[in-house]
Structure 1
Amino acid sequence: MISLFSICLFFILLIAVRFLYSLWWIPFRVKNILQSQGLKGPAYKFIYGNTKDIIEMKKQARSSPMDLSSHDIFPRIQPHMYTWTKLYGQNFIIWDGARPQIVVSEPELVKEILINKEGKYGKVKLRGYLKKLLGEGIVVAEGEKWSKMRKLANHAFHGESLKDMVPSMIASADAMLETWRKFEGKEIDVCEQFRFLTSDVISRTAFGSSYLEGRKVFETLTKLCYIISRNAHKIRYFGIEKLIRWQNDVEANETEQLLHDSIMAIVKMREDEVKTGRADSFGTDFLGSLLKVHHDMDKKNRISTENCDHDYL
Structure 2
Amino acid sequence: METVTASSILISVVCIILVTGLIKVVNWVWFRPKKLEKCFRQQGLPGTSYQFLIGDMKDYASIRTQALENPMNGFSNDYVSRVDPLGHQHSTKFGTDYFVWAGPMPMISISKPELIREAFTKMQEFRKAKFNPVFDKLFPGLVSYEGEKWAKHRKIINPAFHMEKLKLMLPAFGDSCLEMINKWEMVVAETGSGELDAWLELTKLTADVISRAAFGSSYEEGQRIFELLKEQTDLALLMIHSLYIPGYRYIPTPKNRRFKRLEDQIHTSLRAIINKRKEEIEAGEAVKTDLLGILMDSNLKEIQQVDGNNKYQHLGMSITEVVEECKLFYLAGQETTSTLLVWTLILLSKHQNWQARAREEVLQMFGKNVPDFEGLNHLKTVIMILNEVLRLYPPAFQLSRMIYKDTTLGALSIPSGTMITFPIYSVHRNKEVWGDDALEFKPDRFSEGISNAARGNNAFFPFGWGPRICVGERFAMAETKMALSMILQRFSFELSPSYAHAPTSVIFLQPQHGAQIVLHRL
Q: Could you tell me the TM-score, scaled by structure 2's length?
A: 0.54
Q: 1:238 to 1:174 in 2, by over 3 A?
A: closer
Q: 1:230 to 1:87 in 2, by over 3 A?
A: farther
Structure of greater relative contact order (alpha carbons < 8 Å, 6+ residues apart)? 2
Alpha-carbon contact 1:48-1:235 (below 8 Å) kept: no
Match of 1:223 in 2: 231
Following superposition, the deviation at residue 72 of structure 1 comes to 2.9
Match of 1:274 in 2: 281
SS of 1:44's equivalent in the other structure is: coil
Match of 2:451 in 1: none
Number of residue-to-residue matches in the alignment? 307
- Of 99, 102, 123, 2:105 maps to 99
Alpha-carbon distance in structure 2 between the residues aligned to 1:232 and 1:251: 15
Alpha-carbon contact 1:293-1:301 (below 8 Å) kept: no
Counting strand residues as a fraction of each chain, which structure ranks higher? 2
Q: Extract structure 1 runs of 4+ deviating beyond 4 A.
A: 1-4, 6-16
Match of 2:171 in 1: 167
Opposite residue 179 of structure 2, the aligned amino acid is A
- Of 188, 205, 219, 1:197 maps to 205
Opposite residue 257 of structure 2, the aligned amino acid is V
Alpha-carbon distance in structure 2 between the residues aligned to 1:140 and 1:146: 8
Match of 1:114 in 2: 120
Opposite residue 168 of structure 1, the aligned amino acid is A
Following superposition, the deviation at residue 290 of structure 1 comes to 2.1
Alpha-carbon distance in structure 2 between the residues aligned to 1:144 and 1:14: 36
Is 1:131 matched up with 2:136? yes
SS of 1:84's equivalent in the other structure is: helix
Alpha-carbon distance in structure 2 between the residues aligned to 1:227 and 1:104: 30
SS of 1:122's equivalent in the other structure is: strand
Alpha-carbon distance in structure 1 between the residues aligned to 2:280 and 2:159: 24
The 5-angstrom pairing of residues 1-313 of structure 1 reads 15-116=21-122, 119-125=124-130, 127-135=132-140, 137-184=141-188, 187-242=195-250, 244-276=251-283, 279-281=285-287, 283-296=288-301, 297-298=304-305, 299-312=313-326, 313=328
Alpha-carbon contact 1:90-1:104 (below 8 Å) kept: yes
Percent of aligned positions that are identical: 31
Alpha-carbon distance in structure 2 between the residues aligned to 1:49 and 1:76: 21
Q: 1:3 to 1:236 in 2, by over 3 A?
A: farther
Q: 1:213 to 1:175 in 2, by over 3 A?
A: same
Alpha-carbon distance in structure 2 between the residues aligned to 1:24 and 1:37: 21
SS of 1:94's equivalent in the other structure is: strand
Deviating more after overlay: 59-68 vs 120-129 = 120-129
Following superposition, the deviation at residue 47 of structure 1 comes to 2.0
Alpha-carbon contact 2:157-2:298 (below 8 Å) kept: no
SS of 1:182's equivalent in the other structure is: helix
SS of 2:156's equivalent in the other structure is: helix
Opposite residue 235 of structure 1, the aligned amino acid is L
Following superposition, the deviation at residue 65 of structure 1 comes to 1.8
Structure 2 gap segments, 5+ residues each: 306-312, 329-522
Opposite residue 155 of structure 1, the aligned amino acid is P
Q: 1:72 to 1:292 in 2, by over 3 A?
A: same
Alpha-carbon contact 1:217-1:262 (below 8 Å) kept: yes
Structure 1 gap segments, 5+ residues each: none
Q: 1:237 to 1:25 in 2, by over 3 A?
A: farther
Match of 2:354 in 1: none
Alpha-carbon distance in structure 1 between the residues aligned to 2:17 and 2:152: 48
Following superposition, the deviation at residue 192 of structure 1 comes to 0.7
Counting helix residues as a fraction of each chain, which structure ranks higher? 1
Following superposition, the deviation at residue 107 of structure 1 comes to 0.5
Q: 1:149 to 1:280 in 2, by over 3 A?
A: same
Opposite residue 261 of structure 2, the aligned amino acid is E
User: For 1:264-294, what per-residue CA distance to the aligned partner results, in whole angstroms no more than 9, with x for missing partners?
Assistant: 11101212233445x332x222111221233
Following superposition, the deviation at residue 114 of structure 1 comes to 0.9
Alpha-carbon contact 1:50-1:96 (below 8 Å) kept: yes
User: For 1:118-144, what per-residue CA distance to the aligned partner results, in whole angstroms no more than 9, with x for missing partners?
Assistant: x33233345420121233x21122222
Alpha-carbon distance in structure 2 between the residues aligned to 1:103 and 1:204: 39
Following superposition, the deviation at residue 199 of structure 1 comes to 0.5
Deviating more after overlay: 13-22 vs 302-311 = 13-22
Alpha-carbon distance in structure 1 between the residues aligned to 2:38 and 2:109: 17
Opposite residue 134 of structure 1, the aligned amino acid is F
Alpha-carbon contact 1:41-1:92 (below 8 Å) kept: yes
Alpha-carbon contact 1:51-1:233 (below 8 Å) kept: no
Following superposition, the deviation at residue 69 of structure 1 comes to 1.9
Alpha-carbon distance in structure 2 between the residues aligned to 1:214 and 1:180: 24
Opposite residue 268 of structure 1, the aligned amino acid is N
Alpha-carbon distance in structure 2 between the residues aligned to 1:86 and 1:237: 32
Alpha-carbon distance in structure 2 between the residues aligned to 1:69 and 1:41: 32
Alpha-carbon contact 1:169-1:201 (below 8 Å) kept: yes
Alpha-carbon distance in structure 1 between the residues aligned to 2:169 and 2:281: 23
Alpha-carbon contact 2:165-2:289 (below 8 Å) kept: no
Match of 2:390 in 1: none
SS of 1:188's equivalent in the other structure is: strand
Q: 1:27 to 1:158 in 2, by over 3 A?
A: same
User: For 1:13-43, what per-residue CA distance to the aligned partner results, in whole angstroms no more than 9, with x for missing partners?
Assistant: 5554443222111211122212222223233
